[in-house]
A and B are shown apart, each in its own frame.
Chain A
Amino acid sequence: MLKVIGGFVAGVVVVGVLAYSLMSSLMFREVPSPFGVEETVARIQQNIQNVGNGWALSGLRNPGKAVEAAGGNTLPVMMIEACSTKYSAPILQDDDVRFLSILMPCKVSVYKKNDGKTYIGLMNAGLMGKMFGPKVGEIMGHVAEDQAKFIQFDASKPAPEMIKGTPGATGGGSGASAAGGC
């Protein structure tokens, strides 16, 4: 009996350690980009606009600029924000999961690292959605499928122009909330 309990506890510990060490790589993905930062951003923006399913750009932010304004340096980081009302509406209309609005809009991060290469950071929407029941799981599964299309590039096509700022926004604050369909 002692052996069984011991084995069970050991199993739980091993699984716990594995889950802890793999958590970050399961929840988030990092993919190298064959292009520079600006071109990667522009191509992802173009893909978002072409993928359908109600996806629209909500904004492009550069958190590095705030660091620079404070006198510090950071390698470039660009946050592409996108939203689909098709997927956001059912979540926003449900009191039980409305708190998941903190994950909106959907973000794709493009950044340079010290090796000089450009990387794309994404949230694993599919896995994360499964944690919140079947309804959210299904919606986030679709989001994950579209996310994968955001980062499929056709290098034979010329680089599109990067769309700066928040498309459709006429001002700051709540006025920007009408942008990007979310």
Chain B
Amino acid sequence: MLPIYRTVLSALAVFAMLTASAFAAQAKPEAAPAAPSASKKVSTADHHKFKELQKNFRTGPEVTAACLICHTEAAKQVQHTKHWTWESTDPKTGQKRGKKNIINNYCTNPTSNEKDCMACHAGYGWKDSSFDFKVEKNVDCLVCHDTTGTYRKLPGDAGHPVYKRTEFPKGSGKIVEAVDLRKVAQSIGKPGRTNCGACHFFGGGANGAKHGDLSSSLQHPSRYLDVHMDEKGLNFSCATCHSTSSHQVSGSRYNISAAVKGAPHIRGKADDSPAACQSCHGNKPHPQRMARLNQHTDKIACQTCHIPEFARDDIGTERSWDWSTATTMGPDGKPMVRKDSAGRRAFDSKKGTWVWESYVIPEYRWFNGQSRFQVIGDKIDPTKVVKINEVGGGPNDPESRIWPTNVHRGKQPYDKVNLTLTLQHTGGEDDTALWHNYDWQKAIKAGMKAGGLPYSGEYGFVETEQTWPITHMVAPKDDALRCEQCHSKNGRLKDIQGVYLPSRDGNKVLDTLGWTLALLTLIGVLVHGGIRILTAKKEG
């Protein structure tokens, strides 16, 4: 090819690309400006240079005391957050919730197990009910601000980091190195995926176990798994959406914005719902040529179409936890552990039986953002499945949308006389710890005593269910649910009531009338046409 032609062709190609991108930009719906890259370092301070951080810290609280010399209000702010209090109040009903008050479907409740559970508390030293929530130096700054990835907190240390080289789990031969507190303190920064993921990816005691849409696969995700967090693409950190103000992190499992309306606004704006899709995409997110889809936004949550499956990785998520098989020993009479075919925990004499699944099809429900949780001491009906949280909403509620959910099933111990879910003392080396002596009776007695609850001495196991609205692992737009995946007899929304869904719903009488009319029209046209042809031939 002659060079001149090549040059002309290249110029035309560039022109075509520019024109196409200009048209594409016009076709795009209104969108908020891009967030600054999470990886860009914007700090004006080098913490290595601060004298206060050039000490050989022996404990976490010593580091916090140093942080507070400059960041005077930080601890006070943290102490007002759920990350510190483990408590949340429903603004509409006043119900006290949070990890401290609810009984979840996994490890159940931290009462009497604080030394273990507080590995995920943003604080130091919460080992029992005597923990003082006002002591500022007990706030753990490093767990959220470490950028070295070396800061580790293990179960059993009441939220303190690893101070000396430790074998964990005991007897495993795996060694966890002591944290170099000075190095970590000098290397602090904005929270990244590792910080949030240390707890939120591993909740429920295993990678991916709890949420279904959060696991370590989001540490370095590719485009297929999450378009926003795609490491080679937008590369959002958790905090890009979950923006904070005074250490209050927006977006909560307890107060979900189920039906956010209006146009998009600037990402990062600390209003009541910056973590919602609408904050950036608005409630008319589709281009004009797909305007029909925009009419769905008053009934369907964005997540319903754009998260076609969750746990889309080999890690998977836990679908059920059956505590009733805990304390069952192996054939040799000793505690045993068994894994499933994919190498995930399937049975442990300490904890019971688990079922896992990858690429899970969600269960769809009406949801208005309101959940009523089962809290400590609530009465239950053991003849029915106990709902750990009742998801509110319905077809006639304007605040409701159809949401994809992860429904986790389980079996938990309960008091057969008082009809309450029980608290049990699981972790520890003492004689009442379930994981030490495998005695349910002693474990429940100790747990209920620590929680100040009456215990009749009779326990059984009841079926339970916890529902998680799904919101992470957003797929690329090309992988959103296709129309027919919902608009069909046995489609994704086959169990959703209270809304007319073309192709799923129909009125037999109306359908018959319509088809009869269409048939009669066809016959009429054929007869009329036939007569015209015949008469024309005769006349001709």
CB pair A73–B341 under 8 Å, yes or no, is: no
Contact of B224 among A41, A67, A114, A159 (CB under 8 A): A67
CA of A67 to CA of B475, assembled, Å: 13
CB pair A114–B340 under 8 Å, yes or no, is: no
Contact of B479 among A38, A42, A69, A73 (CB under 8 A): A73
CB pair B342–A112 under 8 Å, yes or no, is: no
Chain A residues positioned under 8 Å from B492 (CB to CB):
114
Chain A residues positioned under 8 Å from B224 (CB to CB):
67-73
Q: B466-501, CB under 8 A of A: which get 1 and which 0?
A: 000000000110110000010000101000000000
Most chain-A CB neighbours within 10 Å: which of B224, B225, B308, B476?
B224
How far apart are B471's CB and chain A's nearest CB, in angstroms? 17
How far apart are A181's CB and chain B's nearest CB, in angstroms? 23
CB pair B361–A162 under 8 Å, yes or no, is: no
Contact of A73 among B312, B357, B490 (CB under 8 A): B312
Chain B residues positioned under 8 Å from A76 (CB to CB):
358-359
CA of A37 to CA of B316, assembled, Å: 11
CA of A112 to CA of B312, assembled, Å: 12
CA of A116 to CA of B363, assembled, Å: 10
How far apart are A63's CB and chain B's nearest CB, in angstroms? 14
A158 interface residue per 8 A CB criterion:
yes
CB pair B359–A75 under 8 Å, yes or no, is: yes
Contact of B342 among A38, A68, A70, A114 (CB under 8 A): A38
A121 interface residue per 8 A CB criterion:
no
Chain A residues positioned under 8 Å from B182 (CB to CB):
none
CA of A69 to CA of B340, assembled, Å: 26
Chain A residues positioned under 8 Å from B476 (CB to CB):
71-73
How far apart are A26's CB and chain B's nearest CB, in angstroms? 25
* With A73-B308, A73-B476, A76-B358: A42-B341 Cβ-Cβ less than 8 Å: yes
B222 interface residue per 8 A CB criterion:
yes
Number of A-B contacts (CB under 8 A): 59
Closest-by-CB residue of B relative to A71 is: B223
Contact of A72 among B309, B360, B478 (CB under 8 A): B478
- Interface of chain A: mostly helix, strand, loop or mixed: loop
How far apart are A100's CB and chain B's nearest CB, in angstroms? 32
Chain B residues positioned under 8 Å from A41 (CB to CB):
341
CB pair A115–B222 under 8 Å, yes or no, is: no
CB pair B342–A162 under 8 Å, yes or no, is: yes
B190 interface residue per 8 A CB criterion:
no
A36 interface residue per 8 A CB criterion:
yes
CA of A116 to CA of B490, assembled, Å: 12
CB pair A116–B222 under 8 Å, yes or no, is: no
CB pair A115–B490 under 8 Å, yes or no, is: yes
Interface residues of B in 136-158 (CB under 8 A from A): none
CA of A72 to CA of B312, assembled, Å: 11
* Residues of A in contact, count (CB < 8 Å): 25
Chain A residues positioned under 8 Å from B308 (CB to CB):
73
Chain A residues positioned under 8 Å from B225 (CB to CB):
68
B58 interface residue per 8 A CB criterion:
no
Chain B residues positioned under 8 Å from A114 (CB to CB):
361, 485, 492
How far apart are B487's CB and chain A's nearest CB, in angstroms? 13
B338 interface residue per 8 A CB criterion:
yes
Closest-by-CB residue of B relative to A46 is: B341
Interface residues of A in 68-99 (CB under 8 A from B): 68-73, 75-76
B94 interface residue per 8 A CB criterion:
no
Contact of A161 among B222, B339, B356, B478 (CB under 8 A): B339
CA of A61 to CA of B198, assembled, Å: 31
Chain B residues positioned under 8 Å from A38 (CB to CB):
340-342, 358
Closest-by-CB residue of A relative to B225 is: A68
Q: B371-412, CB under 8 A of A: which get 1 and which 0?
A: 000000000000000000000000000000000000000000
CA of A162 to CA of B343, assembled, Å: 8
CA of A114 to CA of B361, assembled, Å: 7
Q: A24-57, CB under 8 A of B: which get 1 and which 0?
A: 0000000000001111011100000000000000
Chain A residues positioned under 8 Å from B360 (CB to CB):
116
CB pair B359–A161 under 8 Å, yes or no, is: no
CB pair B475–A36 under 8 Å, yes or no, is: no
In the complex, 25 of the A-B residue pairs with CB atoms within 8 angstroms, ordered by the A residue number, are A36-B356, A37-B358, A37-B359, A38-B340, A39-B341, A41-B341, A42-B341, A68-B222, A68-B225, A71-B223, A72-B224, A73-B309, A73-B476, A73-B479, A75-B309, A75-B359, A76-B358, A112-B359, A114-B485, A114-B492, A159-B340, A159-B341, A161-B341, A162-B341, A162-B343
CB within 8 Å of A: which residues of B? 222-225, 308-309, 312, 338-343, 346, 356-361, 475-476, 478-479, 485, 490, 492
Taking A36-B356, A73-B224 as known contacts, 9 extra A-B pairs with beta carbons closer than 8 A to each other, sorted by chain A number, are: A42-B341, A43-B341, A69-B222, A71-B476, A73-B312, A73-B479, A75-B309, A115-B361, A159-B346
The 8 closest A-B pairs by CB, nearest first: A42-B341, A71-B223, A73-B479, A38-B342, A116-B361, A38-B341, A68-B224, A39-B341
CB within 8 Å of B: which residues of A? 36-39, 41-43, 67-73, 75-76, 112, 114-116, 158-162
